[in-house]
Structure formats: C-alpha cells, structure tokens
A and B are shown apart, each in its own frame.
Chain A
Amino acid sequence: MYMDIKGRPVLLTPFSILQSNVQRVTLTIAAGNTEATATISSVDMDNTRLKWGGWKISGDIATPNKFGVRVDLQDATTVRARRETSDATYSVTVSVNVVEYIAGVIQNMYRGDITISAGNSNQDTDPGFSFDNDTGNGTEFAFLGSTTDYSTNKNIDHLLARCQFQDVDTFRCPRWGTSGNTKVSVEAAKYSSTYLRKVHSGSNSSGTRKFGNEQDFTFCFDECMTISYAGDITAGESDLQGALKGLHNASASGIIYDKGISNAVNPSHIARNKLQWQPGIVKRKASNGGTTITNGNSSATVVYPDGVLDPNKTCVEYTGQATSSYTKTTVDYSNVWCRVSYDGDDTVTLDRGGTSGDNRPMYQLTEYW
C-alpha cells in the first residue's frame, strides 16, 4: 500500500467517487416571481454538493434586491433559486450541477443561508464541526450566490459576498459594503483525506495585479488540482474591470487569479477553495481563462474533443469572471453577469442576457472517473 508524505493511504486505481450521475439544472426565476425550483433525481443530502454555475439576467434590472440570486438544495429532490424581490419585467437564470458522492467522501456537511445584517460587513458562522485549513480533513466553503434587500441604487458592494475559512470551527462571509441585509447561500463540506488530500480555503492572493499565481500545493500532479469558487467582492472599485476577478488553471504551481487589468489601488478579494484530490479520482479537467463573450454577442462556446467526456461524470463550475470597463453604479447588469453550462456532450457555453462589452467568464470543468 502506498502512502502519501503524511503516511495516509493513497488511491492508485481509478475509482469513481460518484454515487449517481451528475445532474445539470437550469432555473429561471420569471418576471414577477422571487423563486424557482427544479426537481432532480433523489440524492442523499449529506453526500451531495451543488456546483454554482453563475447567473444571467434578462434585462436592465435597476437594483440588486431584484437581480441578486442564491440557490440551495431544498430537499433530496428539489433545487431552489431565490431572489429577494421580484422584478416586473425581467427574469434571473442560474445554472447548477448536482454532484452526489459515495458515502464517506464527505464527513460533515453544512448548508445554510448566512445573513450579513445591515451595518455589518461580515458574518461568522460555526457549522457545528471543526476543520483544518491546508491540511487533510479540510473543509470546502462553497458559495452558492447571494441576495440582498438593498434597493437604493445599482451599487453591488452590498450584494456581492464570499465565504472562507476563519478559524478551526468558524467560517466567515464578508462583503465590501454595509448597507441592507444580505444572505449568502453556503455549503461547507468536510472531506475525508482518503479521497481529498488537501483543501485550502482563502482569498486575496493576487493583490493589485492583473495576474497572480498563488502557490500552495506543489508536490502533487496537475490533474489532481481543482478549484471551486467562493465568491468575489468589489473592494470599492468603481469600474467593474478592476473589481471582478476570476480563477483558472489550477496546477501544482497554484491557481491563476485574473482580473483583466492591473490595478494599483485595490487588491483582489475573490475567494476560492483549492482541492487536491488523491490520484485516480479526477480523470480530466480543464478551465477557461481565454474564451471571451465579445462585444455584440450574448454567448461563446468552448468545444472539447468529440466523444471524450463522460457526461454522467462531468460537471462545470463558474469560477468568477473578468470584464471590460463598466461603471458599477450605472451599468446594465445584463451585460455583466455570466453563467456557464455544459451541454452533456462536448461543449461548454458561456452566456449572458445582454450583448454589450467583453466578458470573460471562467470555469472549472471536472470529469471524475
């Protein structure tokens, strides 16, 4: 039996940790509504993770209380999307992948809505179990969207939030603004080191740079490294070009942080989980940091080699985005917010509601064995 450097058993043979086929769900909260649900094949909620696929809005919604969206696994057969307030004219659409693992992969699971109250910029939560960071038995803090009752103007400082490790029994959800009440949907999953060698939750590593390459898990193979998104906050930037960030290209060298422009004023505040799987669990992976939805278009596609991916074992997660220049307080956000979706064959589609300006949504595609 082979051991890793800490003496733990290591999987060598390809081994599927999926209990059931990956389910891909698209939910549209229609004009006039605040909620949408989708029925899925029954899953064990304690062993299941939702993978955030990003969001799009169908038109120029005036305030964050109407376009902010969060999703959750409501029960074993229902995925739910919600916004705080309905909009009479425009819809909000989200994509979610449902991944059910075999028993034992996730040791503890917490899911809930974290409320950051008016006047506050963060909220700490004890999920009821303890964890390490950057070691085995680590916990992934996954962001599944945020909503707010803030309705004064378009300023998204109060809506956008992230989640991340704070200490051994607490995770934190910060935002940049302090107005209104904001709810963040979070799944905190503590993994067994038999399957996931390390998890590291954190943020801020790219500073003010256009690109950063954050190091951590160096002594591993590239295909064992995946990313999950944990939210992004604006850091007070007035131009979304300097405010929004994305992640891609997880490898033994680290993860590339990418905000499309160097910015000497405010650092990056995107949060992420770096997941280092044991060998033999991830079959293939890919990420996007290059394909752009260009000005005048509402979508773009990335087409992978035909017949290679197994759709039942493949999921796609949004990992942030880089934008061209948009003024945060006046932009039509249908041009900004993007989602990513895998068609179950060989194509990942990047799309948005509007067509103005360049947007580069990023994602992690993972095919499990």
Chain B
Amino acid sequence: MLLMSEPSPIVPEFSLLKSLQHVSLTISSGSAGRTIDTTIAAVNADNTRIRFAGIRKSGAANASSASLRWELLSDGVTLRVHVGANWSSSGGLTLVVQEFIDGVLADMQRGTVAVANPDLSDTAAVTASDDEMSELVYCGCISTYTTDYNLDNTLALLKQNSDTEIEAQRGANGGDITVGFELARYNSTYVQKAQNFVGTILADHEAELIAGQTNTFDMDMIASWAGQKFNPSITNFGDDWVALTSVGPSGALLQRNGSRPSQSSTAAFNVVCFKPGYIRRRCHFGNNFFTGAIDLMNTGRIASSKKAWVEYMGQRQDSTGASTKASKNFASSMFTVIASTSSTAEVFLGRDTSSPTVTNHRPCFNWVEMV
C-alpha cells in the first residue's frame, strides 16, 4: 500500500487555471455611496470570473443597508465594489478572482440590470451567448429601499431568457434595484455544457430537484449562485431562504427550512459541466449548521493547493421565530461570509458577531479544486 508524504496530483491533466486570488474586503460604516477599488494582481479580464463567497454585515438600518455590487474592470487590476447609498455599520465581502487560461472562456460580458419601482423585473439585452454554454452570475445588488428590513424588495435573481436577453427578478417592488452580472460563455473544448437554472420550491415542499445535465460525472460539475428572490406571502425569513445543497448529474437540489411553508420560494443558479479531467476534487457542503470553521477532512491534503476556491450557494435558516421580514434586522444574523485562503484547508463561515446565536443557520458552499 502506498502512503505518500506529500500531496500529489490525482488527475494528471493540465490545469485550466492561470491564477486564483482570494479577496476579502472590509466595508466600513462610512462607506455609503462610495466605490471602493482594490488592486489585484493583473489578470486578463476577458478570461476571468469573479466568484462570490458571501457578505457579512454587522447591523443595518433597513433592507438596503447591505447593498453591495462588485465588478472587475477591464484593466484587469481593479476590483471595484459599489456601496449602496444607504449602507450602514460595517461589513465584509469575500470574492474569488479566477483567471482561466486562454480559450476556456469564449466570451465575457459584464453589466447591470436595473429594475425600477414599481416593477418586479426587467430585462437587459446581451450579445448573443449560447444559453446552453453560458453561466449567468450574480454580482451583487444595489437597492434604494429604506422603508423597513424587508428583503423581498432588494434580493434578486438572474435568469437567462434567451441567447440575447437576461432578466432580473425580485419578490416585491419597493425602491429601485441595480443587479450586477457576469455572463460567461464557455468554449466547448473544455466545457460540455453550462446553463442557468431558476428553480421554485413549491408550496408545502421543502425541496425541489432541478434536473439538468444527466450524462456526466459528479465531480465535473461546478455550480455558481445566481441569486434568489423572496416571496412576499411568506412572513418569516427562515421559511424563505433557499440553498443549493447538492449538485450532480441526477439533478440539483434546492432546499429551504424544514417547516414547509405554504408558499413557494425561488432561487437561481448555474451549473457548468467541465469535460472530464479538469476538476480534481470538490465538496458541496449544504447540510450542516453554522459551526464557525470547517476542516475539509484533513488539513494536509489540500494545504499546498493554490487551485481551490469556495463559492456561496445560499443558506437555510432553521428558526422561523416570531419576527417578520419587515421588522427583523436581517444583518444581525442573516448573512454569511464564506472565506478561504489558498494556504489552509479550513473554510471559515462567518456572520455578525454581535448576536451570533439568534438563529441556526446552514450556510451552503461549494469547495472546488481544479487540477
């Protein structure tokens, strides 16, 4: 039996990754209305995806107090965060800058979709992008809604309607929102299929299996988050948060609180199915309660990896409680940061430290290591 003293590649293929950078930002209480530019190591913006690893917020005045939107500028060295005008208190954001080698991405489009009061949705035209080879990624949302804490008005999802049109949707029509997106089209040399899915968990159900790409292997499939919208007919936060808890060729499972509310909940996500040989390992973590830090099995195995990242996949909140969405200060417990660095095997799950035990959370993330 072979026991190695150092980690070694399991799949002897070449890497599709050119570089990977983890960026964790602190957004201070005085940042309202600002744009915050962070200089990163130079990348080719046309070959680069920005992966979202969560927002943490310490207190909020209203539902738009956690509004953030992010984008990679075309210069390839500026990661820009737009902070909403109603931002209050401090918070944090984790992003992963993932640069592929030439040829993985056939096209990259970045932009925003604006939804103005009193609309629930709006569309934006995009340059023709094969909707079976494209990933439509949520890049934050800026909201002007200040009436109360109700995220029905401010949370949004992104849906690809066709090769030339995308759509942003929200649950309620208070204020205006601006949703950031990346639309990445993949080259078929490396990717079998890439699709955007919108899934609805029906009334009285707590989960829905979204069938999609069956003819492939588990580890070649990578999910990304495309946002969720809240249902105004659901009173409590805990009943409406949705997470993508499992992804495989048999389907992707969207789940919410186990109490099975009598209304539906809807979220969006993408699945990119790489051709075999490019993904070394992955871990879709979707079912455990908040525990602070997660040791991915044992630290030695991935300690030297520079090719692994984590990505936010929604969350579940298990306590419905008595607080309604409108009155509950979501920032005290609702948001989660998932952070990872390339030098540790631990994935850190964070939330506001001022009231961390208010409710039980099950933050979900996808940990992926490419060859």
Contacts and interface: CB of A to CB of B under 8 A. Distances in A.
Nearest to A291: B214
Contact of B7 (A5, A12, A288, A362): A12
Nearest to B12: A14
Contact of B207 (A1, A5, A210, A218): A210
Chain A interface size band reads 35 or more
Chain B interface size band reads 35 or more
A106 to B, nearest CB: 15
Q: Helix, strand, loop or mixed for chain A's interface?
A: loop
A222 interface: yes
B1 A211 contact: no
Contact of B245 (A14, A209, A253, A284): A253
Contacts of B5: 1
B251 A253 contact: no
A31 interface: no
Interface string A163-192: 000000000000000000000000000000
Q: Helix, strand, loop or mixed for chain B's interface?
A: loop
B300 interface: yes
B3 interface: yes
B255 interface: yes
Interface string B261-277: 00000000000000110
Contacts, number: 178
B284 A222 contact: yes
Contact of A253 (B7, B212, B285): B285
Interface stretch (A125-133, A148-156, A303-311): A303-311
Contact of A218 (B214, B215, B287): B287
Interface stretch (A75-83, A109-117, A254-262, A325-333): A254-262
B12 to A, nearest CB: 9
Contacts of B250: 248-249, 256, 286-290, 362
B284 A252 contact: yes
A4 B216 CA distance: 30
A12 B248 contact: no
A222 B282 contact: yes
A305 B1 contact: no
A219 B294 contact: yes
B322 interface: no
Contact of A286 (B218, B247, B295): B218
Interface string B171-200: 000000000000000000000100000000
Given A12-B7, A258-B209, A5 B295 contact: yes
Contacts of A2: 4, 7, 298, 300-301
Contact of B211 (A3, A212, A222, A290): A290
A286 B249 contact: yes
Given A211-B209, A288-B249, A304 B286 contact: no
B166 to A, nearest CB: 25
Contact of B287 (A210, A254, A302, A308): A254
A13 interface: yes
B2 A13 contact: yes
A287 B248 contact: yes
Interface string A1-25: 1111100011111110000000000
Contact of A304 (B4, B10, B216): B216
Contacts of B10: 13-14, 279-280
Q: Which 10 A-B pairs have the closest CB atoms?
A: A289-B250, A215-B287, A290-B211, A253-B286, A2-B300, A248-B250, A249-B248, A211-B207, A12-B4, A252-B283
Given A13-B10, A251-B248, 16 more contacts: A1-B5, A5-B297, A10-B298, A10-B301, A211-B207, A213-B207, A219-B294, A221-B296, A222-B283, A248-B251, A249-B248, A252-B283, A253-B285, A254-B245, A256-B209, A289-B209
24 contacts: A2-B4, A11-B2, A14-B10, A210-B205, A211-B206, A213-B245, A213-B255, A219-B295, A221-B282, A223-B218, A223-B281, A249-B218, A249-B253, A251-B218, A252-B285, A254-B287, A256-B253, A279-B10, A284-B217, A286-B218, A286-B248, A290-B214, A303-B215, A305-B215
